[in-house]
Amino acid sequence: MQSEPGCRFCLANNLLVDTPWLESDHFFCLGSIDPLSPHGIMIIPRRHSETPFELNAAEWAGMGEMMAKASERLAPHGPDGFTVGWNVGAVGGQSVFHTHMHIIPRFKGEINEGAGLRRVLRPVKLLDADA
């Protein structure tokens, strides 16, 4: 598999601080280490690429299986919805420049309930915790 020296998501570099809980020919999955999203999952391609626009046909073909496995793993937590997406480029919020998809389970009553991707696409008043 193609890797990029110094990339912490390229398995060949041995820089990953946690252990993948699922692996396939093209991907591996990690749980979130973000305390604000304790049940989040990332799907990461084995081959180094910086954005999802660089994924090849075989990788796209395997994505559905990985998403289904992620959903199965999150089912015991009883999510009421999901936010699924990519941060692409520094301006888009990407901080690790190895392609990775976030799957974030969402729950009724959470402080950001209803705040999805549309918050980026359509400016609205941010949710106020005291409101």
pLDDT digits (tens, 9 = 90+) for 33-67: 888 788 999 999 999 999 999 999 999 999 999 99
On whether residue 62 sits in a domain, the answer given is: yes
On whether residue 5 sits in a domain, the answer given is: no
Residues 66-112 pLDDT 10s:
999 999 999 999 999 999 999 999 999 999 999 999 999 999 998 88
pTM tops 0.95, yes or no: no
On whether residue 77 sits in a domain, the answer given is: yes
Pair 11, 3: CB distance under 8 Å:
yes
H or E stretch including 126?
none
Q: Which domain holds residue 22?
A: 11-121
Where does the pLDDT of residue 30 fall: very low under 50, low under 70, confident under 90, or very high at 90 and above? very high
Pair 3, 10: CB distance under 8 Å:
yes
What are the residues whose beta carbons fall under 8 Å from the beta carbon of 28, sequence distance 6 or more? 11, 20, 22, 44, 46
Pair 40, 103: CB distance under 8 Å:
yes
Number of domains in the chain: 1
On whether residue 88 sits in a domain, the answer given is: yes
On whether residue 50 sits in a domain, the answer given is: yes
Quote the DSSP letter at residue 12: G
